[in-house]
Structure 1
Amino acid sequence: MEAATLDRLLDYVAQHNLKDGDALPSERSLAEALGVSRRDLRGALASLEAAGRVWRGVGRGTYLGTRPLKFSASLSSLRAGSSPADIAEMRLVLEPAFVELATSKASPDDLAELEKCARRNAMAKDDDEWQQWDHRFHLLIAQATRNPAIIALMEVVNGMRMKPTAREKTADQDTRRHFAEQHQAVVKAMIKRDGATAAARMRDHLLNVQWRIPSHRG
């Protein structure tokens, strides 16, 4: 249902000629306009937020586009001048530790959502759809840590990855399939509450991502 809601939401944006920086209606109004439940709408908005296509601020509403730097000034320096290689290296250092922490803290609902996201990732038909579910997968892991600082950092990392100069391309189906299998291996280890294995599988995955960045190839 979430995928159908996401399609309706994207159609709504297109039909109303909304662009980056424009505000979306309130959650209640938007759910009524789309003919969907607020729960399904929240899931669709979370997917777009993880992909850097909308941002939400407490008391501010939901806006199209990436979060403006003025609303995340303490982390803005991370965005400035970071190359794809820099981002990949940072992720390799940090995310295995994040997933190990998340394995110990994740609720059954967190794990179910991660499993669902990994399945959606495996079904991606193109690079845009892959990126959407990939960003959501990594943000869900951060959210499962229950650590606001880690969650904020991953939101910024996802935003950095959306820049045209920093975005990893997964243009071929074989690459997407391979990465999806690696995501599923991470989730399987998390479900078994095996943090060390989950961290190792995440490290394997990020090494594969890093290898596909030109400056890291042998």
Structure 2
Amino acid sequence: MTRWTQAAVLARMRQEIEASAPDPGDRLPTERALAAAIGCSRQTLRAALARLEAEGEIWRRHGQGTFRGRAPLGHPVRETVRLQAATPEQLMQARLLIEPAIAAEAARRASRSDAQYLLRLVEDGRVATSRGGAEEADARFHRGVAEVAANPILIGLLDHLADARRRAAWQREWDRTYRRIGVGEFVGLHSDQHQSVVTGIAEGNADVAEQAMRAHLLTIATAMRRGSDPADPGL
């Protein structure tokens, strides 16, 4: 095994970080994999990791891994680490488990003014002219459904998932997807699907609202899978 100086190991570590974890929040390979890639001992690697952590280039959590960037603020560390480690597929799975049930509960609780509020959020999505505007309108709609369900825990769960969707891994997947579908699908198909969710909520029909939300999220999940598959010719 090559005898490495600390400066040389740090230089190689920075190369490995750029290659394997290019964006803040990305998880690095395991210590074993990094040591093998560099050709140094685990003890030497750990000294380099400690230096990089002190400089704010990485952060670590025992049993969870090593992540690029500074440790995020705003949530308890354990929960933040779980979000940082989640894949886009796991996030979509969580949304599919949670959001249809939230839509059903909104249908049970919604007043006429609640339904009108959600319709205004749908219209905000229809008139969006940019990706940023469309994404903001989409986030407001999904949170709005949780607000109508009138349970602060459900609202907190939606906010938690929204934070996870701002992570680099999700954004890379969504960037690929957006390049395929463009803003037109946001203001067209997605808004139509939002409208279907609101129809179920306005009618007080929990089954319709739940099924409409699930269909909407499955559309997103399918688009993201196709966006990450270079062999797929399109939607």
TM-score range, shorter chain: 0.5 to 0.7
Alignment map for 1:39-50 (pairs within 5 Å): none
Alignment map for 1:19-98 (pairs within 5 Å): 69-72=73-76, 75-98=79-102
> Displacement of 1:140 after TM fit?
0.8
Residues 133 and 141 of structure 1, relative CA distance in 2, 3 Å threshold: same
Structure with bigger gyration radius: 2
The alignment status of 1:189 with 2:193, answered yes or no, reads no
Residue 87 of structure 1 contacts residue 157 of structure 1 at CA under 8 Å; is this kept in 2?
yes
| Alignment correspondent of 2:27 | none
Residues 135-156 of structure 1: CA deviation (Å, up to 9, x unaligned): 0111111111221211111001
Amino acid at match of 2:189: H
- Number of equivalent positions: 151
Distance 1:149 1:104 in 2: 17
Which consecutive residues of structure 1, in runs of 5 or more, have no partner in the other structure? 1-67
Distance 1:187 1:132 in 2: 18
| Alignment correspondent of 1:173 | 183
Residues 78 and 152 of structure 1, relative CA distance in 2, 3 Å threshold: farther
| Alignment correspondent of 2:133 | 129
TM-score, normalised relative to structure 2: 0.58
Amino acid at match of 1:188: T
Residues 114-162 of structure 1: CA deviation (Å, up to 9, x unaligned): 1100011011112111110100111111111221211111001111112
Residues 78 and 191 of structure 1, relative CA distance in 2, 3 Å threshold: farther
Residues 145 and 72 of structure 1, relative CA distance in 2, 3 Å threshold: farther
Identity of aligned residues (%): 23
Residues 105 and 126 of structure 1, relative CA distance in 2, 3 Å threshold: same
TM-score, normalised relative to structure 1: 0.63
Distance 2:111 2:82 in 1: 30
Q: Which runs of 4+ in 1 moved over 2 A?
A: 68-78, 106-110, 167-171, 214-218
Residue 75 of structure 1 contacts residue 156 of structure 1 at CA under 8 Å; is this kept in 2?
no
Distance 2:75 2:225 in 1: 32
Q: 1:163 aligns with which of 145, 160, 167?
A: 167
- The alignment's C-alpha RMSD in Å is 2.2
Q: 1:203 aligns with which of 214, 224, 230?
A: 214
| Alignment correspondent of 1:154 | 158
Distance 1:202 1:91 in 2: 10
Which consecutive residues of structure 2, in runs of 5 or more, have no partner in the other structure? 1-71
Select between 201-210 and 104-113 the one with higher mean Cα deviation: 104-113
Q: 1:103 aligns with which of 101, 104, 107?
A: 107
Distance 2:76 2:123 in 1: 32
